[in-house]
Chain A
Amino acid sequence: MMEPEASSSRMPITRRHPLYPFLVLYALVGLMFGPIGHQVSEDMPEDRTHPYFPDQVWPYAVLAMAVLIGLGLMALITQPLLQPGQPADPRAAIIPLPEWYFRSPSSVPHSSRPSSSRWGWSSG
């Protein structure tokens, strides 16, 4: 990091300055939205790289078509499986409670033992 010169009129905010964490957050915004900067692949020899367009891009279109056709076919074949079943009815729902052996002894009074109609591993 560049240290500001003593004669400079800028505030000497270094890494130890209490405001520094906030400035890092501010700088992160610039880092995320600013130019991408130097990329690792730019350092590689030319014979080990290829241009993004068209060499790398053309399979994208093929893959997109394959995905669309595949999903369409799956939707067509499995159409009977995706029919809505019975509607949900929250009024018939019972508040689920753990079985008595999962609860602490103090929280299992004689009358609160869950009945078999509750959700869970019912013993009947």
Chain B
Amino acid sequence: MGLQTAIVDWLDERFELADAVDAELYRPVPNYASAGYRYLGVVAVILVVVELITGFLLGLYYVPDGAGNPAPAFTSVVFIQHTAYLGWLIRGMHFWGANLLIVVALLHMTFVFWNGGYRAPRELNWMVGVLVFLVIILFSFTGSLLPWDANEYLARGREMSIISGSGVLPSGVSEFIRYAVQGGPVVGPATLLRFFMAHVFLLPALMAMLLYIHFRIGRKQGPAEPA
């Protein structure tokens, strides 16, 4: 206890820590912010944290290599599922957390919309929230290829065909999009590596930045009054 007090005092002398903590803990919150549906955003954040932790643990064993048959990516997932200690639990939580996150984020958006949270002066935060949702969808899209099994592989191949606008856009544009996203004419090891890097580095960084802005604006403006 003495050490804790000493550390807090040391920080307080330099950064006015105690005042900052008091201001954060005892700030006034509107009574209508306690309604049950207002906590959907918190549930979404909890799920994001769960995804982050379980994703890190999966990353300790996952090998993003799609070359060969069976590829190391597939065998590493089999290892996680069957051999790694509680690997099945971590993988299951990551899988279901991702699915639940989409549902909870959609419900959160629905209630925010219902309360007029998209109107001025909160329209910017609404747009940031929509971007967060798009990032969640991209997380789901990139993550679902990583197990490198036949079902997901064929499903992502079909989606890639849709994304590239094959048959709708001019063939040059369609081919460019396809090569940019999947790194070759077919979904292959290069695609797996691109999706892995996006899933593990690019999207988390984007998500952290967008969530910071989302919370920051949300704190400043407070929750929208009930409709």
Q: Could you list 13 further interchain pairs (A-B, Cβ under 8 angstroms) beyond the known A70-B100, A94-B186, A96-B157?
A: A52-B27, A53-B25, A67-B47, A72-B89, A74-B96, A75-B91, A75-B92, A84-B77, A87-B69, A87-B71, A88-B71, A93-B186, A93-B188
Q: Which residues of A contact B227 (CB under 8 A)?
A: none
Q: Closest 3 CB pairs between A and B?
A: A75-B92, A98-B167, A88-B153
* Per-position 1/0 for A53-72, Cβ under 8 A of B: 10110011001100110111
Q: When chains A and B are docked, how far (Å) is the Cα of A71 from the Cα of B163?
A: 31
Please tell me the size bucket of the interface on B.
35 or more
Whole-angstrom distance between the Cβ of A108 and the nearest chain B Cβ: 11
Given A63-B43, A84-B81, A97-B166, A71–B93 Cβ distance below 8 Å? yes
Tell me how far the C-beta of B40 lies from the nearest C-beta in chain A, rounded to whole angstroms.
10
Q: A74-B96, A88-B150 are contacts. A96–B222 as well, Cβ < 8 Å?
A: no
- The verdict on A90 contacting B66 (CB below 8 Å), with A44-B28, A119-B161 known, is yes
Q: Is B92 a contact of A96 with CB atoms below 8 Å?
A: no
| B1-59 interface with A by 8 A CB criterion | 24-31, 33-34, 39, 42-43, 46-47, 50
Q: How far is the CA of A48 from the CA of B34 in the complex (A)?
A: 12
Which residues in B have their C-beta under 8 angstroms from that of A64? 46
Say whether A49 contacts B30, CB under 8 Å.
Answer: yes
The size bracket of the interface on A is: 35 or more
CA distance A67 to B53 in the complex (A): 14
Taking a contact as CB atoms closer than 8 A, the residue among B31, B43, B91, B188 that contacts A82 in the complex is B91
* Chain A binder among B106-114, B129-137, B195-203, B212-220: B212-220
Question: Which residues of A are at the interface with B, using a C-beta cutoff of 8 A?
Answer: 32, 36-37, 39-42, 44, 46, 48-53, 55-56, 59-60, 63-64, 67-68, 70-72, 74-76, 78-79, 82-91, 93-99, 102-103, 107, 119
Q: Give the docked Cα–Cα distance between A7 and B93 (Å).
A: 66
C-alpha gap A79/B186 in the complex (Å): 31
Pairwise interchain contact B221-A40, C-beta atoms closer than 8 A: yes
Contact (Cβ within 8 A) B96 A78 = yes
Complex partner residue of A86 from B46, B150, B168, CB under 8 angstroms: B150
Asked whether B118 is an interface residue with its Cβ less than 8 Å from the other chain, the reply is no
* A37 CB, nearest partner CB in chain B, Å: 7
18 CB-based A-B contacts, threshold 8 Å: A32-B212, A40-B222, A41-B27, A41-B30, A48-B31, A50-B31, A51-B28, A59-B42, A71-B97, A74-B92, A83-B81, A84-B149, A87-B71, A88-B74, A90-B66, A90-B189, A97-B166, A102-B168
